[in-house]
Structure 1
Amino acid sequence: MPVCMCMAQLRRGMRCSDMHALLMPIYILCLVMGSSASLGSKPRPPVWPETFHALAVQDRNGSLALVDLYYEWSKGRNANLIHKQLGTTLFDIEYNNKTSYYFDRELGTCKQMDFEVGILTPDWLANATYLGTETVDTHEAHVWTKSEGFIKYWADTQSGLPVRWRFFDGAQFEIMAFREGETLPDEEWQAPDYCFKQNQKRLPQQL
């Protein structure tokens, strides 16, 4: 670094007190610049916008589906519309009250599930472990992992938009489009009436 290299030249022909007085600002500048470079080597994990629509290709061990992901943090809800290859659409509607509904309107099936946590927070990647960069298709991407490898997340180095994420069980999602502020009409979030009847047709255990 040129600023730091000039320190040796300033030592020539100067008393210690004069040299220290002149070198101190330069030394501090070197520390600041060095710290900035160090911090820049590990980017901050991305924070999701409070409302967005992502279009993804889902690959679960060779079983493909097209997924519309809708996220609305302000209303405490998250939706995955899973369009099975040459099949029907499974709605996965999740709420911040820790309740989720899985239903298929074409088949008339429904399953309610309760979880220990609600939907992800916008900053759910905070404290994730940074793994460096990788090339995903044509995108240079930062890579993070969290919860002891539970999920691996790729984000474009330029835009910060997600490119891919993969879960511990091998389920991988390739993000094809990401539109901030886009959401579903309210009626699409509502589970069908038959979800709340005791004689409902239930989805199989393997979703």
Structure 2
Amino acid sequence: MTPPHLPVTVTVAFLLLFLCLPATPPAAAAAADPTPTPWPPQFHATLVMDYHGNMSVADLWYDWPGGRNLHVIRYQLAADAPYYDNEWNNGTSFFYTPARRTCRSAAVGVGILRPDWLRPGAIYLGRRDAGGFDCHVWAKADFITYYEDVKTKRPVKWVFYTGRIAYVMSFEVGAVLEDAAWQAPEYCFTKDGGLATDTTTKISDGHHGSSFIPRSVL
């Protein structure tokens, strides 16, 4: 027996409902933006720095358990290289050039960067190429743009608002510098040798005398 026909109004309603259905199943909820990988507690990185054409190579030693951070900077063709930027978790930094026996200090008022310093307030900018590396990119505090390799989670490049660019050439997780190398020279604690000590000096991003990432804004 042939079933009775549906009323026209019901048939039209079913047709409209069918036409309104999506052609494919609804997409899954968008995944949350990735978060920056915290720095390891201890590492050594080799950086090539470009500051408006002023080139340098820096060894960055980071030691969170020891509460200390050291940049050993060699400017291109500089006769008095290397230059040391020695930072401590008690808020004190020393800047010295052994070849000239000069040193100054600064009371920054904050300690070194935490391993997760990027996470609070970092804005995800998406994925970009950086010298052939597929990177996640974040910006923070209108100061730094940070590139992290998608596969290895290692930092690849840092771009600062001043125009300084740091290219990470090597990144050794767990590398530790011997304690003796962290000691500021004796002339940092005297007035001898032309020492200029300034306990109120601001950390800048200029030539000869800067932390690459001002801790006060992060």
The normalised TM-score by structure 1 is 0.79
* Aligned match for 1:73, one of 61, 64, 72: 64
Which residue of structure 1 aligns with residue 108 of structure 2?
115
Give the match for residue 146 of structure 1.
140
The gaps in structure 1 that reach 5 residues or longer are: 1-29
State the number of aligned residues: 173
Structure with bigger gyration radius:
2
TM-align CA RMSD: 2.0
Q: Does 1:45 align with 2:36?
A: yes
Cα distance in structure 1, aligned partners of 2:100 and 2:193: 11
Q: 1:94 corresponds to which residue?
A: 87
Q: CA deviation at 1:116?
A: 2.6
The unaligned stretches of length 5 or more in structure 2 are 1-24, 202-206, 209-218
Alignment of 1:163 onto 2:153: no
Aligned 8 A contact 1:142 1:154 in 2: yes
CA–CA separation in structure 1 for the residues paired with 2:108 and 2:59? 22
Q: Is the 8 A contact 1:166 1:173 kept in 2?
A: yes
CA distance 1:191–1:137, change in 2 (3 Å): same
What is aligned with 1:180?
173
Shift of 1:203: 6.7
Deviations 1:87-119 (A, max 9, x none): 210011100000000111111111101113210
The answer as to whether partners of 1:110 and 1:200 remain within 8 angstroms in 2 is no
Amino acid at match of 2:125: L
Are 2:124 and 1:133 equivalent residues in the alignment?
no
**Which residue identity lines up with residue 104 of structure 1 in the other structure?**
T
Matched residues in 1 for 2:126 and 2:83: separation?
35
SS in 1 for 2:28: helix
Equivalent residue number for residue 201 of structure 1: 194
Identity of aligned residues (%): 38
Q: Secondary structure at the match of 1:38?
A: coil
1:60 Cα offset (Å) = 1.1
Query: How far apart in 2 are the matches of 1:59 and 1:190?
Result: 28
Alpha-carbon shift at residue 200 of structure 1 (Å): 4.2
Give TM-score scaled by structure 2 length.
0.75
User: Deviations along 1:119-151, whole A, 9 cap, x unmatched?
Assistant: 00000011310000110111011100111x111
Q: 2-side partners of 1:55 and 1:201: how far apart?
A: 31
Distance 1:48 1:96 in 2: 16
Deviation of residue 199 (structure 1)? 3.1
Give the secondary structure class of the aligned counterpart of 2:31: helix
